[in-house]
Structure 1
Amino acid sequence: MKVARRCKGIQAGSRLALAIHLGLLAMLAGQDLVLAADAPKPARPAAEQPALLNLDIPAQALGSAVLAFAEQAGLQVLFDSERLQGLQSTAVKGQYGVQEGLARLLGNAPVEYRFTGERQVTLTRVAESARGALALATITVSGQQKNDWVYSSPRSVSVVGREQLDRNPPRHAADMLEEAPGVYSAVSQQDPGLSVNIRGIQDYGRVNMSIDGMRQNYQQSGHQQRNGTLYVDPELLSEVVIEKGATSTMGGAGVIGGVANFRTVEAADLLAGGKEIGGRVRVTSGIGHLGNGTHFIGSSAFAIGTEVWDMLVAVSERNLGDYKPGNKGSIGELRSGAALNPSYPERIKNSNVAYSASMMRSRLVKLGLNLPADQRLQLSYLETDVNYSDANMMSVENQAQLWEKLGSSRITARNLALDYSYAPDNPLIDFKAKIYHVDNRNDQSTLTRGSTPGYEITYQTDTYGLQAQNTSTFTLSELSVIKANYGLEFFYDKVRPDSTQPGDPTSAVTVPASESLTPEGDRALGSLFGRLDYDYDGWLNVNAGLRYDRYRLRGETGINTRTFVIGTTRQIGVPVTYDVDTEEGRFSPTFGLSIKPGVDWLQLFASYGKGWRPPAVTETLISGRPHGGGAESTLPNPFLKPERSTTWEVGANVLKENLLFSDDRLGIKVAYFDTRVDDFIFMNMGVQLPGYGTASISNSAYVNNLEQTRFKGLEYQLDYDAGVAYGQFNYTHMIGTNDFCAKTAWLGGVTTPVKGAGSRSPVTAMIPDAQANAATHCRAILGSSEHMPMDRGTLTLGTRFFDRKLDIGARARYSAGYYVKGGAQVTTSQTGIYPADWKPYTVYDLYSSYRATDQLTLRLAMENVTNRAYLVPLGDVLAFTLGRGRTLQGTVEYQF
């Protein structure tokens, strides 16, 4: 018998299927090779007999049957479905051991199988010829860990799994991302919303924040810390998948930073092992005086399913109160007021963070229908309701309170989607489509401040989306495969604010400032994309992709300018309005190469990609006085150009089993990235209006950076697991800073008067001011890009006891800080608007879990054991909310 090579990774004509359940993999060790047609197996001692599986697999194409068996048996499978074409399975229904069930499934098919170890089953198709049996192909059923694919993907990708979320239950959604390299969040602990920053890039869709692939494009103008917010309860998530940089695949339309997809729980997660009914109840609460505002975090999920349909219903609640920050260590000088009085930081550290309480409730429903011919429909609905207070920090000196309540927000985020998939036993067809609607609404009440009366306003963003893609696989030879992924993506944002605040009928923009600062407008973006992957013998991959994006933005805006009445010395105001209707498109290519240089466990990769992001509604149409009065004005820019990015990346993957001990595994991913953005859009201070006047620091507008904006650095990610002990490590090192320069007269059109002799002579003409129109300046910007993200890393070490029922571990979170020292050793601002004043810190956390029964799990977690005072990297400057102090939480989880 001649045995063909073993398939590795994604093979010729493959259709990938993943069905994971680690508990059954230990049954698959140490078996002998047999021919499936000769089904008898050697008997095993009773003590070694595997648990019985509840199998229910109708007779069908063998490739589909193997997938069904892998899912019901709890295996992960990667195999070449084309090799099984033309073969039929035998129906299997009832309780069987792993070996007996597989043998019955294969029946008389000319297929051999081998249990080659605890984590691997190999199937081999054989064909009879005049010279005897000849093995034509090998199919590998592998028992890799669930997220091992991260360390075999030739690109930068990270996964935050359910296990990580359960170790230290996140209080704020941003806590989920602390162990993902290259990922930050401009967080305010007083706002439950999440704004994802990837490698220093965030806001206005630069990062595609999605829930189950549905874009979350809600944005509400504030002090430019977060221009794009997602509301999701971590209790309902199964994992978060983060892809970094531009891409020629689904989700990359109008993106230059990456994609963060928050995946919610599925019915299949609760119906593993062939169950028809399953569920989960999880409750977390703060414990005693160390509860620190964690009143209740909990969820329940229930699923029921048959061969034809399945349904999931889940609910969650997150009830949090004000918390105490840590009080050990330094929290900076400028923002804490230490430069004025050393007692100010102590006052802040030993005071509760007021208005940090919030209430979040979510409901999730999914209904799936399995149609004939390998088709599936799924309807899903997710609603999240959030109530919290809007607040910011007061000046520390001479204030009776540290935080001021500005108002309250009531968020309602609704997500409705219909998914369709068609995956027959045909390598040319793996089709997926989605149509969805996302409705994010904030009913906000603003309190009276000084002479500015309070008002009510509703900020609402509706996003309508359509997605479709197909994957076709072509076998060129026994060693060569081409895979083509192609499709389209479309989304349309409709922004509609509505305020009770009165407008100014004499202004160019007559609506009130509370509306015009998050202005009404429409933006649609459509994208066609395609990517080809060529794979040779599992060690070489070359890929190339092309995306065409096109957008259209519509809305109305305006500005008030000044000029002179010709023949007089009288100045008048001139309202200038813009009816914006902009449309543009662009092609963006990507290329990639990966090789395995002689060893199967090492992969080297490099990639190059172009990205393109058109301006958003707010960036283009924003106008008004942000504080309801005074001299400050925020002004529109109807002539903004789209951003263009170029990203280089080189890296290495290591995925090695049996490194130090039998059955251990090591995963490593290291990447260097360099993203350069031309025409980067930022809010510039000190612009000069058209007409007559001078530049003023009080005037601001979104402009394109005249300098190239660059985000580069190194990412390290490591995962080691030896069963009884494990560890994870990640670190992000950002390199360099950016300059932000723009034309002072961002719209041009500056004029100067021509007068006769004498200072009181009438104006005879208004002529262009060439000097003012050509002037540029490089000053402070208002926004999250003012500072490069600081270095950050985490280290987790854990050990398991009592047949892995007890899991105990510790986590260290480190930030290198980001601050600039002045001559008097006082922290100074890097660029002048928001101080760069994040101090270094290390925070230690402890966690443990005990699986009392197969259904009941108990968990205990202590955050910030040493009660360290710290500011989260890129934390909201205005809110100045410190990280939580020592917090003890307990969790009870029951599954059935």
Structure 2
Amino acid sequence: MGEALAREDIVLDTVTVSATREDAAPVEQMSSTSVVNAEVLERIQPDTVADVLQSVPGVTTSETGDDTASAINIRGLQDFGRVNVMIDGARQNFQRSGHNADGSFYLEPELIKDVTVIRGPVANVFGSGAIGGVVAFETIDPFEFLRPGERFAFSSKGQLTFNADGFVTSNTAAAGADERFGIIANITYRDQDDYHDGDGTTVPSEREVLAGFGKVQWRINEDMELKVGYVGNRADYVSGVTATPRQNDVADDTATGRFTWDPVDNPFVNLTVNSYWTRTDAMQTEVGSGDERFFNLETVGFDAYNTSEFFSHGFDQAVTFGIDAFHDRVTTQDLNGTGSLFTPSGEREIYGGFVQYELERGTWLDVVAALRFDAYDLSGETLSGAVENSGNRVSPKITLGLSPFEEGTLSGFQVYGTYAEGYRAPAVTETFVSGLHPPFSPMSPATFQFIPNPDLQPEVGKTFEIGVNYKRDNLWREGDALRVKAAIFHNNVEDFIEAQAVPPFGFPIVFNYQYVNVANAELNGAEFEATYDTGRWFASLAASMVRGENSDTGDYLYSLPADKVATTFGVRFLEERLTLGATWIATAAQDRVPPPDPTTGSLIDPSEAYNVVNLFATYEANENFSMGAAIDNVFDEQYRPYLNQNSSAGIGGKVWLKVRFGA
């Protein structure tokens, strides 16, 4: 076997979570799964979540320069939980209505160990609502940071950034006893100034972020393990600089607990129990008037599942049962404005369970069949009084995989087909939003008003997907490794929820706005991801395209991402301690936008094509000292990603240094 087979930087070989809750490498999963691992994060040194996910096919992010929050779009679906974002297994459900994405979260990239993306409504074992997919961020465990034999270790990183001038410092310490009990903590501080786009225009982006995490890992015995963790984020920045400037003070907290029991002598027990609590407090103070408003969302949830394995009639089989539930409480207040109307207070309970059956015959046949039950209850107050909503559904999934070649060049080839359904309950805002916008006054007549919809129906996503996986070592030379994943998909979302103008019309209320089940949405696309590594050099390619429309009217959906191709090439020198490389992200124009609203005249701004080239260099002098540099947007390209409000940064860069010691 060649050295490349054990390389951690072969991304598609990274063992991660899967759509069936079993850890496996993405190239071995019968789903469109991608991972960004520690090796990739080390060389790109991301400043935002968008940087982390820039080369993942089928994924785009929505960010604004003057806000530290991020929103994720998968295969043209975003907002209100269509993408289930998790940090160490805890759902991130925060939402604040505005002129940007309706669903965001706060996460400092320095805290990320790796991130897994599962595209499509195939990961129904991760809970309800994810008709777009799942994005799972993970922080590092104590015994992943500590090396064998170490009782204590400390690392410190310093980074200087250019264009958005600033610095980052990140410090991590861990201690362990007998590889049974370990503890780890990190604290990160980021200070950033405004940046300049490719035309030299200043884009407000000044911010201060204080973040960190802590985790305790207790290996109770050979069969049981308990992890308790915390992730915190404090952000200070000014938003709406060009409109209504507001000072933002954000406090985001996530607490998690995970218990696993996997006795080596009992194949019928492999139990995992997760619990979590998240809270996001966003306080905004209007610059000048001093008017305050706040947005708070608190989520409490848990999930538990057990897998039993057995062999019968020549088949390896496994049955997994699971249950999960979470409760959202939204609290907002805006005494002198409309923030608490457009992001209303309310409560939502979502709960469900699933059963999953897996069958394998040798290495050539894989079958996964699952049923999931979901139910929800919503309650809240509107200007018209109390509103409630509820519903439930059973959603099926079936996947068949074939690996027909046992020998030869195609021995690592697998083809699979999946049909899966997902179920998303309406969000608090979609159901309860109400109020005039802007507030009515004789000097400023109301343009429109939001009205609640207690009869809003859930969305149901129905996806067909055909994919191929290919895994081959020593293909063209000793020690090389090729990994390929590709898929085509068709997703039909029934009862798609969208805000639209509805009657009556007239003065002083020009029209009403309401979230309604307006259409069935159809999305089709293709994705490709490949990595080739020889040890001396490596290359990767990721490409995706999505097409979608309102199948009732034929109009485009507003949230369709632009076609994208991301290519990375790198070379290793000095016994592979020095790595030099480049990433080229080519993005097509996105002019497939819906027509102007006939009532409001509003239009989604299309985006132009652009090419961004980033250079990177990393040098690991030894296992305790490393450094690197990067130049971003080398050719100073002027561009604005589709659905973003601001142009992105022009040419910039960073240099960083990391030291570590252990004993």
TM-score using structure 1 length: 0.68
Query: Do structure 1's residue 272 and structure 2's residue 147 form an aligned pair?
Result: yes
Map 1:331-350 onto structure 2 (within 5 A).
Answer: 349-350=199-200
Deviations 1:746-782 (A, max 9, x none): xxxxxxxxxxxxxxxxxxxxxxxxxxxxxxxx999xx
Pair 1:704 & 2:517 matched:
yes
- Paired residues of 1:202 and 1:257 also in contact (CA < 8 A): yes
Q: Please give the secondary structure, in 1, of the residue aligned with 2:195.
A: coil
Task: Pick closer, same or farther for the CA change 1:264–1:626 going to 2, 3 Å.
Answer: farther
Contact 1:248-1:546 at 8 Å conserved across structures: no
Picking from 413, 422, 425, the partner of 1:614 is 425
For these two proteins, the number of residue pairs brought into alignment is: 637
Q: Does 1:882 align with 2:651?
A: no
Equivalent position amino acid for 2:431 in 1: T
Corresponding residue for residue 16 of structure 1: none
**How big is the shift at 1:858?**
1.0
Letter in 1 for 2:432: L
Counterpart among 530, 541, 549 of residue 374 in structure 2: 549
Aligned residue for 2:125, secondary structure, equals coil
Cα deviation, 1:67-92, whole Å, max 9, x if unaligned, reads xxxxxxxxxxxxxxxxxxxxxxxxxx
- Which one of 208, 218, 221 corresponds to residue 94 of structure 2? 218
Q: Which runs of 5+ in 1 are unaligned?
A: 1-115, 122-141, 327-348, 393-402, 502-511, 559-576, 742-777, 822-826
- RMSD between aligned alpha carbons? 2.5
Map of 1:95-110 to 2, 5 A cutoff? none
Q: Does 1:732 align with 2:539?
A: no
- The residue number in structure 2 matching 1:5 is none
Correspondences of 1:7-46 after superposition (within 5 Å): none
**Which residue pairs with 2:404 in the alignment?**
597
Please show how residues 10-159 of structure 1 align to structure 2 within 5 Å. Answer: 145-146=13-14, 149-159=25-35
* Structure 1 residues 483 and 779: alpha-carbon distance in aligned structure 2, compared to 1, 3 A threshold: closer
Partner AA of 2:249 in structure 1? R
Following TM superposition, by how much is the alpha carbon of 1:183 offset from its aligned partner in structure 2, in angstroms?
0.5
Contact 1:282 1:893 in 2 (8 A): yes
Please give the per-residue CA displacement for 1:124-171, whole angstroms capped at 9, x wherever unaligned: xxxxxxxxxxxxxxxxxx999435811111111110112222222222
For residues 818 and 120 of structure 1, what CA distance do their matches in structure 2 show? 39
In structure 2, give the amino acid aligned to 1:285.
L
Change (3 A) 1:424 1:522: same
Q: Choose the corresponding residue for 2:525, options 704, 713, 716.
A: 713
Q: Which moved further from structure 2: 256-265 or 512-521?
A: 512-521
Q: In the TM superposition, what are the counterparts of 1:127-526 in structure 2 within 5 Å?
A: 145-146=13-14, 149-223=25-99, 225-247=100-122, 249-286=124-161, 291-307=162-178, 308-326=180-198, 349-353=199-203, 355-372=204-221, 374-391=223-240, 403-425=242-264, 426-447=266-287, 455-476=291-312, 479-501=314-336, 513-526=338-351
Query: Judging changes above 3 Å, is the alpha-carbon distance between structure 1 residues 854 and 830 closer, same or farther for their aligned structure 2 residues?
Result: farther
* Distance in 1 separating the partners of 2:335 and 2:94: 21
1:795 aligns with 2:644: no
2:77 and 2:559 in contact (8 A); partners too = no
- For residues 524 and 221 of structure 1, what CA distance do their matches in structure 2 show? 21
Give, in whole Å, the separation in 2 of the partners of 1:583 and 1:322: 45
Deviation at residue 830 of structure 1 after TM alignment: 9.3
C-alpha distance in 2 between matches for 1:497 and 1:199:
31
Q: CA deviation at 1:274?
A: 3.5
SS in 2 for 1:819: coil
Counterpart of 2:543, as a letter, is Y
Cα 1:797–1:779 shift into 2, 3 Å: closer
Give yes or no for contact 1:857–1:894 (8 Å, CA) kept in 2.
Answer: yes
Q: Which amino acid aligns with 2:603?
A: Y
Q: Distance in 1 between matches of 2:572 and 2:244?
A: 46
**Ranges of 4+ aligned residues in structure 1 off by more than 4 Å:** 116-121, 142-145, 692-697, 827-832
Partner of 1:649: 465
Please report how far the alpha carbon of residue 675 of structure 1 lies from its aligned counterpart in structure 2 after TM superposition. 0.7
CA 1:739–1:697 in structure 2 vs 1: closer, same or farther (change >3 Å)? farther
Which moves more between the two structures, 145-154 or 837-846? 145-154
Matched-pair contact (CA < 8 Å) for 1:829–1:837? no
How far residue 895 of structure 1 moved from its aligned partner, in angstroms, is 2.5
The residue number in structure 2 matching 1:813 is 585
**Maintained 8 Å contact 1:688/1:694:** no
Q: Distance in 2 between matches of 1:884 and 1:419?
A: 40
C-alpha separation between the residues in 2 aligned to 1:248 and 1:660?
A: 35
Q: Which amino acid in structure 2 is aligned with residue 621 of structure 1?
A: F
Q: Give the greater-gyration-radius structure (CA).
A: 1
Give the letter for the 1:616 counterpart.
Answer: A
Q: Which has the higher strand share?
A: 2
Task: From the superposition, tell whether residues 719 and 373 of structure 1 become closer, same or farther in structure 2 (CA, over 3 Å).
Answer: closer
Q: How many percent identity over aligned positions? A: 28
Query: What is the CA–CA distance in structure 2 between the aligned matches of 1:613 and 1:535, rounded to whole Å?
Result: 31
**1:249 Cα deviation from its structure 2 partner:** 4.5
Q: Can you give the 5+ residue segments of structure 2 that lack an aligned partner in the other structure?
A: 16-23
User: The residue matched to 1:541 in structure 2 has which SS?
Assistant: strand
CA distance in 1, matches of 2:332, 2:275: 25
> Offset at 1:628?
3.3
Maintained 8 Å contact 2:76/2:548: no
**Residue 733 of structure 1 contacts residue 791 of structure 1 at CA under 8 Å; is this kept in 2?**
yes
**C-alpha distance in structure 2 between counterparts of 1:697 and 1:724, whole Å:** 65
Q: Deviations over 1:715-736 (max 9, x none)?
A: 0101110100100110111124
Q: Of 528, 533, 553, which residue of structure 1 is paired with 2:358?
A: 533
C-alpha distance 294-263 of structure 1, shift in aligned 2 (>3 A): farther
